Amino acid sequence: MTDISQPWNGEPVRVGLVGAGPWARAVHARVLAAGPETRLTAVWARREEAAREIATPYGAAVAAGFEELLDSCEAVAFSVPPAVQAELALRAAKAGKALLLEKPLGADLPSARRLADAIEEAGLVSQLVLSNRYHPAARRFLAAAHDLEIYGARSQGLSAAFLGGDFTTPWRLEHGALLDVGPHLLDLLDAAIGPIERVRGVGDPRRWIELTCEHASGAVSQCSLSGSVNVPDGGTRIELFGPQPPLVYDTAELGPEEPWPVLRREFATAVRSGVSGELDARRGLRLQELIAQAAPA
């Protein structure tokens, strides 16, 4: 597990941020500017005033265009809809920039594959913002799962995010929870139980979709996804079952620990070493392949 208590001895990675929505404001800008591993150098968004509102508190520049942003940094973080990310990250990859990418990689499998292939062919560092995977509690859960015999699992990612508020965005309303929340749950189930070989989906991703995952180990896991249910406390919950007592990961029970210092340290380490970690664009492509399998006909 990454030890963030140790001092960072390298130069901070100069990161440019693409996007100025609520997630960019609440997470990306704040986390990248906090350092010491990274420094937020510039922000670019299609609305200059929105970019300025994010950049100014951190002393970052406001890029007049995407190319200007690329000139100001050595790595680019994205906080934009999947279709936009797949297009702009491809341009950043051609410019040789390290990439901090949101999930999913793209709005569909072909665009995700083009991006992942371009990153691999260029030998670039990439990392996914799969927030659960950087949380110390999730890492303890996964470490414990590796020692268990698992027959099956139940999981859920439920919220009221699509019913109103900052995250009721057009792409989420169009594609639903499978594309939005699906990468998180599929990634955790795959990491906890072993590779998912097949996944089937039933339902409407914009309302409620149920996934059945068959793992290489023979285990079977279930996954319930929705962003359109009126639950008071949304979140992620996974229960692993076998001959031992159930092992549970529940975001509603997490303490004050945060994933962001771990994410920042691991991204900066990858950039400085030139070696991506496990959660790279290729992992994102694998998750997008599973999502494509699960999409109801």
Query: In this predicted model, what pLDDT tens digit does every residue of 225-243 receive, in sequence order?
Result: 999 999 987 899 999 999 9
Q: What is the DSSP letter of 253?
A: G
How many CB atoms neighbour CB 45 within 10 A? 24
Domain 13-131+259-279, CATH homologous superfamily name and number:
NAD(P)-binding Rossmann-like Domain (3.40.50.720)
Encoded tokens for 162: 């699509």
Indicate if the alpha-carbon torsion angle 65, 67, 68, 72 is positive or negative: positive
Query: Phi and psi (nearest 5°) for 72?
Result: -95, 0
Domain definitions of the chain by residue range: 13-131+259-279, 136-257
Residue type, 137: A
Q: What is the pTM of this model?
A: 0.96
Short-list 190, 226, 187, 222, CA closest to 206: 226
Q: Is 226 strand, coil or helix?
A: strand
pLDDT tens-digit series, residues 88-124: 999 999 999 999 999 999 999 999 999 999 999 999 9
What is the pLDDT, as a whole number, of residue 233?
78
Through-space distance between the first and last CA atoms of the chain, rounded to whole angstroms = 40
Low-confidence stretches of the chain (pLDDT < 70) are none
Encoded tokens for 237: 């919950």
What is the pLDDT, as a whole number, of residue 132?
96
CA dist 152 and 132 (Å) reads 21
CA 203-207-210 angle, 5° bins: 35
What is the pLDDT, as a whole number, of residue 162?
94
CA 160-163-165 angle, 5° bins: 90
How are beta strands 220-226 and 126-128 bridged, if at all?
Answer: unpaired
How many CB atoms neighbour CB 271 within 10 A? 25
Q: To the nearest whole percent, how much of the chain has pLDDT over 90?
A: 93
Q: What is the CATH number of domain 136-257?
A: 3.30.360.10
Q: Is 159 strand, coil or helix?
A: coil
CA dist 40 and 265 (Å) reads 14
Q: Do domains 13-131+259-279 and 136-257 have the same CATH topology?
A: no
How far CA 126 is from CA of 9, 83, 111, 297, in Å, comes to 21, 18, 16, 32
By CB atoms closer than 10 A (0-12, 13-18, 19+), residue 75 is buried
What is the pLDDT, as a whole number, of residue 170?
93
